[in-house]
Structures are given as structure tokens and as C-alpha cells.
């Protein structure tokens, strides 16, 4: 079983009637329902206003893949939790960052860049071109798929060069965007997927749900690789002493 935690800020849906009309139980509920249809996925949800944002040590330690949606309250996410999520990713947890999550603290921390982009909220059509049809995340998706009414995101998207670019979006207004990108950080796999504005029913779309399911399976860790918990300044004994006659050596670790 792949243990998935679907995280949502869950502020728009509780504050704006137009958003509540699209996602009455929250964006996280729709994403979780889609993932729960898959027999190999064990799914729970977590939201910003829960204690520790629902991301306690127990939850993080039993999460293989975390999905992240946030928009209006990125600055309300505590730095301490961001650090814990980052640590878990570096140890191997998969992370799916969705839509406006491009500005989430955790994504910017892991990318090291501003992650800024252009945008326009005009309900225009988007065509997502599948440019890596051999990749696990694009299985079941044709040459392209379309979303009839979306918020546009345009280049330049200020991200480090992706390991893989899986989708390139074209918008009715003329812009293009790298809509599906992967990176590795430490032992963890990260996938950014663009679709998902809160006033459009994007997460009900069958192709979007297919990509999310595929991405969860792709991002699941082969194993979690623990990082040493204490600093270790002890000299390292050589494995073959005769080949190391030159004096002191050591392992340098930071205090994380
Ligand atoms: Zn949006």
C-alpha cells in the first residue's frame, strides 16, 4: 500500500461562496476521493487549521506521498513544519505540488528559486501536450488533453531546470507553460502539476485525476533513507588501513 496524505490550505472553500459551490467539502476531499478509487492507495487528508497543520511527526512518518494545495495562506504555514516536510522529502517521501502551490514555502524551499510566473484569470481553454508519453506519470493520457475553462499560467516559471518536463500547456490567450515537471531532492521525488484553480472544477476532470494517481505511484519511495540524528565528529576508521596512511579523516554532518 502507498500511504498518501492530501494536504489542503482549505481557506477559500470556507470563506468564498463561489469556491464552496465548486468544492463544498474542500479541494482535498475531491482529490482524496479520486485517489481512494485505487486499491493500492491508502488516503487521508490534512489541512492548515488542524494542530501542526495536520502534519504531526506521526503523520509525516507514515506518509509515503504528500500532495500540497495552497494559495491565500502560504505565509501561515509554520517554518518548523516546512522544515519537517523538507526533511521527510530528503529521506524519500514523494511530494506532489499542485497549481498555486508553486508559491508554497515547501516548494520554494526545495526548489531554491522564486517559483514566480505570469497569470490571468479569464476562464480560457488550456491544451496540455503530453511530451513524454513513455513516462509513468503520463500513462493513460493521450497526445494531449484539454480543460475548457482555466486560470492561465504563463512563462517564465522561475524554477530550476526540471529533471523531466512531462506536459507543456498552450492557452487560448497565446501563452505556454511547463505544466508537469519532476525533480529529485535528496532521496525524494517531486512532481509539480499546474491544473487546479479553486473556482473551476479541475480536480473532477478524469485526465487530471489519472495524472494524480500516476504521479502518486511514481513518487512513492522505494525506501525511506534515514538521516543520522546526531552530529558525528568522530574520526572515521579506514576500511583498508594500509591504503590510508595519511593521518586523520572524518565524517562531517550538520546538526539536522
Ligand atoms: Zn489559481
pLDDT tens string 11-29: 999 999 999 999 999 999 9
What is the average pLDDT across 149-166? 98
Residue 256 pLDDT level (bands cut at 50, 70, 90): low
Q: Where are the beta strands (DSSP E) in 62-155?
A: 65-69, 94-98, 118-130, 144-154
Q: Give CA–CA dist 103/127, Å, rounded.
A: 23
Q: Which architecture does CATH list for 2-112+180-219?
A: 3-Layer(aba) Sandwich (3.40)
Neighbours of 83 (CB within 10 A): 14
Q: Would you state the pLDDT for residue 228?
A: 73
- From 88, 66, 87, select the one nearest 3 (Cα to Cα): 66
Domain ranges of the chain: 2-112+180-219
- CA–CA separation, 112 and 166 (whole Å): 21
Instruction: For residue 148, give the C-alpha cell.
Output: 475548457
Report CA(253)–ligand 1 centroid distance (Å).
40
Q: Indicate if the pLDDT at residue 141 is higher than 70.
A: yes
Residue 229 has pLDDT above 90, yes or no: no
CA–CA separation, 48 vs 200, rounded Å?
21
**pLDDT at residue 108 in the model:** 98
| 198 CA to centre of ligand 1 in angstroms | 6
Q: Ligand 1 centre from 204 Cα, in Å? A: 16
pTM of the model: 0.92
Compute the distance from residue 68 Cα to the ligand 1 centre, in Å: 14
Phi/psi for 230 (5° steps) reads -130, 150
Residue whose entry in the numeric block shows the C-alpha cell 482549505: 10
Give distance in angstroms: CA of 177 to centre of ligand 1: 14
User: For residue 250, what pLDDT band results from cuts at 50, 70 and 90?
Assistant: low
Counting residues of the chain whose pLDDT is more than 90, the rounded percentage is 88
Nine-digit cell at 60? 509525516
Closest CA to 130 of 200, 179, 190, 95: 179
5 pLDDT more than 70:
yes
Q: What is the mean pLDDT of the chain?
A: 94
Show the cell assigned to 255: 546538526
Amino acid at each position: 500500500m502507498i500511504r498518501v496524505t492530501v494536504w489542503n490550505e482549505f481557506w477559500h472553500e470556507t470563506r468564498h461562496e463561489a469556491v464552496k459551490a465548486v468544492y463544498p467539502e474542500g479541494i482535498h476531499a475531491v482529490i482524496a476521493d479520486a485517489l481512494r478509487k485505487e486499491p493500492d492507495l491508502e488516503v487521508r487528508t490534512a489541512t492548515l487549521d488542524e494542530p501542526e497543520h495536520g502534519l504531526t511527526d506521526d503523520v509525516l512518518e507514515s506518509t509515503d506521498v504528500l500532495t500540497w494545495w495552497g494559495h491565500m495562506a502560504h505565509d501561515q504555514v509554520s517554518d518548523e513544519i516546512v522544515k519537517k516536510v523538507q526533511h521527510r522529502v530528503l529521506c524519500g517521501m514523494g511530494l506532489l505540488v499542485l497549481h498555486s502551490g508553486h508559491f508554497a514555502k515547501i516548494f520554494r524551499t526545495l526548489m531554491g528559486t522564486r517559483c514566480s510566473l505570469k497569470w490571468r484569470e479569464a476562464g480560457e481553454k488550456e491544451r496540455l501536450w503530453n511530451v513524454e508519453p513513455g513516462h509513468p506519470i503520463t500513462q493513460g493520457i493521450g497526445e494531449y488533453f484539454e480543460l475548457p475553462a482555466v486560470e492561465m499560467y504563463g512563462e517564465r516559471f522561475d524554477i530550476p531546470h526540471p529533471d523531466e518536463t512531462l506536459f507543456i500547456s498552450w492557452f487560448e490567450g497565446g501563452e505556454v507553460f511547463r505544466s508537469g515537471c519532476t525533480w529529485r531532492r535528496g532521496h525524494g521525488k517531486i512532481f509539480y502539476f499546474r491544473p487546479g484553480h479553486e473556482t473551476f472544477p479541475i480536480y473532477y476532470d478524469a485526465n487530471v485525476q489519472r495524472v494524480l494517481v500516476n504521479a502518486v505511484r511514481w513518487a512513492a519511495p522505494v525506501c525511506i533513507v534515514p538521516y543520522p540524528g546526531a552530529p558525528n565528529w568522530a574520526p572515521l576508521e579506514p576500511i583498508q588501513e594500509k591504503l590510508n596512511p595519511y593521518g586523520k579523516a572524518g565524517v562531517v554532518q550538520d546538526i539536522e
